[in-house]
Chains A and B, each alone.
Chain A
Amino acid sequence: MIDVYAYRTGNGLRPCIAMAECELEHTVHFVDLSKGEHKTPEFLKMNPLAAIPVMVDHDGPGGKPLTISQSAAIVLYAAEKSGRFLPSDGAARALAMQWLMFDTSDVAGTNNAIFMTTMRAPEKVPAVIEFFEDRLYTLFCNADERLADVEYLAGEISVADLALYPFVALRKPFLEARDALSNLERWTASMAARTGVAKGMAAFD
């Protein structure tokens, strides 16, 4: 049995989607960031950085419990545990990792920078916010161009698609306000139609 501790953010939804898509038995626990539930002594024992998501696999490697944080690491762990969403072909596997890191270093990072500059910064500097917003849109354009050639980011569906989806889904209004990206839209619709993706996205409903 796996426990996932998360909140409804891009990073928080990743393990919810991955566990559901990998069909691993799991329970999602809502960590109310607005009430500081990520800063309680119990939570800090799981992740001293007070950040969601966290996963506890009570039946981890060697039958021992395993606690890890970092959404992309949790997605990889679920994929390896279930033997799914990691292409067996070497080249496709390398591309899956390339796009997983694109999702993680670039998309999630830029998305977080927008949050920091709009919500956390003491001064809201329009030029800086615009820089990060333009960068996020450029990254979505990169994914759109890729998806013109292939159905899924690595060719076949992989961890890369699972890790990107919640960021695209939560940024719907952002994307609707800009030039349409038809390939990304097609991909978004096919991802949304998947049972596991839908279940993961509804984890906090």
Chain B
Amino acid sequence: MIELYACDTSNGQRAAIMLAEAELEFHTRILNLQAGEHKTPEFRKINPVGAVPVIIDPDGPGGESLTLAQTGAICLYVAEKTGRFLPEDAHIRALAFQYFMQAMSDVVLYSGAYSFSLMRFPEPSEASTKVFKDPLLEHLGYFDQRLGEAEYLAGEYSIADIALYPAVNQRRELYEEAGGLHNLDRWRQMMAARPGIAKGMQLVA
């Protein structure tokens, strides 16, 4: 069975919902970030960098055990292992990679840096948090526009939707305050209703 090491972050949620959506059997171990459980010598044997999520698949490529870090890589590995959520049509596949990378680079960056700016700026002023909040909302607005013309980001359901979901769920209040994003909200509810999404989100709550 796959072991998932995660903290209760949006990246931890991405790995959990991916595994659950792919219907792989897995066991989740939640590490306490505040207590530094991801920086212990034991955990560094699993991931020298001391970052979560990490999966250990005892039945990896060639039947050998595989230890894998990086949220995006875990999503891609699970998709390839199960042959799911990666469109076969090359055109749609390229679009899936585009939206997947947008979620894993721009959205993860701005959402993470926005949280960071609220916590770490000595006196978080409106102006200093806006530098991350505005581009985050711009990206969410772009996804909203896309979801006005397609049911799912790449046209069909893919890893791109799975990678984006935890951030949209986390930033619901933010985009509602900013006036609401109708298409994104429809998509969020449709995503939330999927059993795998619900299960994964519950495991890393």
Q: Would A104 and B104 be within 8 Å (CB), given that A98-B68, A109-B109, A122-B128 are in contact?
A: yes
Bound together, the chains give a CA A48 to CA B73 distance in angstroms of 27
Collect the chain A residues with CB atoms within 8 Å of residue B138's CB.
49
Collect the chain B residues with CB atoms within 8 Å of residue A69's CB.
98, 102
- A141, closest chain B residue (CB): B49
Bound together, the chains give a CA A191 to CA B94 distance in angstroms of 27
> How many residues of chain A get a CB closer than 8 Å to chain B's CBs?
46
Q: Does B145 contact A (CB under 8 A)?
A: yes
A122 touches B131 (CB 8 A): yes
1/0 contact string of B34-69 vs chain A (CB within 8 Å): 000000000000001100000000001110101011
Indicate which residue in A76, A98, A113 contacts B97 across the interface (CB closer than 8 Å): A76
A97 touches B72 (CB 8 A): yes
Q: Does A70 contact B (CB under 8 A)?
A: yes
A70 touches B131 (CB 8 A): no
Collect the chain A residues with CB atoms within 8 Å of residue B142's CB.
48-49
Collect the chain A residues with CB atoms within 8 Å of residue B199's CB.
none
B91 touches A91 (CB 8 A): no
Q: Does A120 contact B (CB under 8 A)?
A: yes
Collect the chain A residues with CB atoms within 8 Å of residue B179's CB.
none
Q: Does A102 contact B (CB under 8 A)?
A: yes
Q: Does A173 contact B (CB under 8 A)?
A: no
Q: Would A94 and B73 be within 8 Å (CB), given that A49-B142, A70-B105 are in contact?
A: yes
Q: Would A61 and B89 be within 8 Å (CB), given that A66-B94, A68-B95, A97-B73 are in contact?
A: yes
- B91, closest chain A residue (CB): A61
Collect the chain A residues with CB atoms within 8 Å of residue B62's CB.
89-91
Indicate which residue in B60, B73, B89, B101 contacts A70 across the interface (CB closer than 8 Å): B101
Closest CB in chain B relative to A160 CB, distance in Å: 10
Which A positions have Cβ atoms within 8 angstroms of B?
48-49, 60-62, 64, 66, 68-73, 76-77, 89-91, 93-95, 97-102, 104-105, 108-110, 112-113, 116-117, 120-123, 125, 127-128, 131, 142, 145
25 contacts between A and B (CB under 8 A): A48-B142, A61-B89, A61-B91, A61-B94, A62-B91, A69-B102, A70-B101, A70-B105, A73-B97, A89-B62, A90-B61, A91-B60, A91-B64, A91-B66, A93-B61, A94-B68, A97-B70, A98-B69, A102-B70, A105-B109, A116-B113, A120-B131, A121-B127, A123-B125, A145-B48
